[in-house]
Amino acid sequence: MFDLDFQKISSLLSFSPNDPLMFGSGLFLFLFFFLLLFYRLFANSKNARILLLIVFSLYFYYKASGLFFLLLILNAAANFQFGKWMGDATEQSKKRMILVLSLIFNLGILGYFKYTNFFVEIVGNIQSGSFDPVDIILPIGISFYTFKSLSYVIDIYLEMMKPTKSFRDFSLFVFFFPNILAGPIDRASKFLPQVQQDYNITRRDIAMGLMLIMMGLVKKIMIADYIGLNFVDRVFEVPLRFTGVENLLAVYGYTLQLYADFSGYSDIAIGIALLLGFKLMENFNYPFKAKSIADFWRRWHISLSSWLLDYVFRPLQINFRNWRVAGNIASLIITFTLIGLWHGANWAFIVWGLLHGVYMSIGLLTRKSKNNIFNKLKLADTKLLGFGQIFITFNLVAFSFLFFRADSFETALNILNQMFFFFKPEVFSQFIAGYTPTFILIAFGFLFHFLPGSLLDKSVSVLEGMPLVVQALILAVVIWSVVQVQYADLQPFIYFQF
């Protein structure tokens, strides 16, 4: 009997494809509880604490991706070495050579796993019209940790930071389990100093961490998974079976689902890190409150957009500066196409990115004339204008996510076709009657989003004032209610595929 149990436990704990240790799963909560317990026990021994985190992080990554954890170790070792060489180099030409080598190494590995089939397909189509895909499994999180490590080498090159002398600290930066699978793509310059700090978290940190974890679970399981499985997936599968009004709601629903899924994940990651004494980078800041596409990108997937702003857009823009506006536009188009391509080797992502590049360029070209018109009409800084800008920005974003989600251009076109030629607004009341919980959740999701940000601070203060037992009780109640609403098995986080 013991043998049987032992086998069960070992199979539960070992790597199985498509079954990462997801935040929110029972097993994760169980293991995390023990991690926190030992972590607090070792609070005064820095070495033991860091070692514990490294071992747990490696295990967490092994559980999600099996032997690919060796690739992760290679990534850390190589980039630590690149950083050291870069720091030791005195001549600019040598620094440049090390930068190029690290780019080839990091982007080469990422490219091999992520883009080989895309290029094989293009070449195959040109040559013979057919292609045989190469059997390559994408190591989970590779896009995130590759960018994380790269930022370290580039920041040393740009003299924004000095290389760390500790391979142990750098490994923890690369392996750190809360953000290894889907970000936030933290910067070494912000993370490494925290490794050396004592474990000294305040009551406020604990309350904030718990609040973020609870909010993340609600966003992910109650909102994203529910509306995805019950409504959005069905419409996107056969849009022609639904009217235009339902297709429109599905596109809005998907926009909310993606936000709730990814920002929910980020909230949990940031919350977990906070309980371990680490402050990770903010990843979302109420993106649907954005009044322009540029504003949207300062609020959506901030750790990726700021990465590309610092390491792609700025260098391009400086190089193209003599072309004036044309230089800015070229830099925008290239940067946003790369944002699309970062998500995957797929024409839909490229179109999605390109669309945002075009939005940004139009915004840039019309910036002055728009401001003049607003001033003339005395609309500048009015609530009416703000509302209009938020509405238009949201619709532009939702339109772009239509391509992000649709399996093919045909599906996207079908959805648009239904919206424009088969709208049938009278179906709206039937939709509310037929999909009441979905409708309530979509409405609740958007309402929640548009509440003032200060409300979060206030709720954290209330939670902070409660005894630990009550806090734990609230956490348990939230987990319990989330499980009640859980429609099916926990769905993988959408951003795990990137």
Please pick, from the candidates 321, 391, 470, 473, the single residue that binds another protein as defined by CB under 8 A. 321
Give CA–CA dist 105/78, Å, rounded: 9
Please pick, from the candidates 37, 74, 318, 483, the single residue that binds another protein as defined by CB under 8 A. 318
Q: Does 294 interact with another protein (rule: CB under 8 A)?
A: yes
The catalytically annotated residue of 301, 343, 356, 449 is 343
Q: Does 327 interact with another protein (rule: CB under 8 A)?
A: yes
Please pick, from the candidates 313, 403, 495, 498, the single residue that binds another protein as defined by CB under 8 A. 313
Find, among 304, 298, 284, 312, the residue nearest to 360 by Cα. Answer: 298
Three-state DSSP class for 136?
A: coil
**DSSP string of 150-161, one letter each residue:** HHHHHHHHTTSS
343 belongs to the catalytic site: yes
The structure tokens 């995805």 sit at: 228
Q: Does 160 interact with another protein (rule: CB under 8 A)?
A: yes
Please pick, from the candidates 1, 18, 129, 324, the single residue that binds another protein as defined by CB under 8 A. 324
Stretch that binds another protein, among 5-13, 104-112, 312-320, 399-407 (CB under 8 A): 312-320
Q: Does 358 interact with another protein (rule: CB under 8 A)?
A: no
- CB closer to another protein out of 84 and 298: 298
Whether the upstream peptide bond of residue 184 has omega within 30° of 0, thus cis, is: yes
Q: How far is the CB of 363 from another protein (least distance, A)?
A: 9
Q: How far is the CB of 385 from another protein (least distance, A)?
A: 19
Between vectors from CA 349 to CA 226 and to CA 131, what angle results, nearest 5°? Answer: 110
The structure tokens 């940790």 sit at: 145
Q: Does 326 interact with another protein (rule: CB under 8 A)?
A: no
Q: How far is the CB of 304 from another protein (least distance, A)?
A: 15
Stretch that binds another protein, among 54-62, 280-288, 308-316, 381-389 (CB under 8 A): 308-316
Q: How far is the CB of 364 from another protein (least distance, A)?
A: 6
CA dihedral 322, 323, 329, 330 (to 10 degrees): -90
Give CA–CA dist 245/428, Å, rounded: 7
Helix 409-421, helix 383-405: angle, nearest 10: 140
Q: Does 159 interact with another protein (rule: CB under 8 A)?
A: yes
CA dihedral 431, 435, 439, 441 (to 10 degrees): -170
Are 261 and 220 in contact, with CB atoms under 8 Å apart? yes
Q: Does 320 interact with another protein (rule: CB under 8 A)?
A: yes
Q: Does 470 interact with another protein (rule: CB under 8 A)?
A: no
Q: How far is the CB of 92 from another protein (least distance, A)?
A: 8
Q: Does 375 interact with another protein (rule: CB under 8 A)?
A: no
Please pick, from the candidates 168, 314, 370, 449, the single residue that binds another protein as defined by CB under 8 A. 314
Give CA–CA dist 417/430, Å, rounded: 21
Q: How far is the CB of 360 from another protein (least distance, A)?
A: 8
Are 353 and 340 in contact, with CB atoms under 8 Å apart? yes
Are 352 and 301 in contact, with CB atoms under 8 Å apart? no
Q: Return the active site residues.
A: 343
Contacts to another protein by CB under 8 A = 92, 158-160, 294, 309, 313-315, 317-322, 324, 327-328, 364
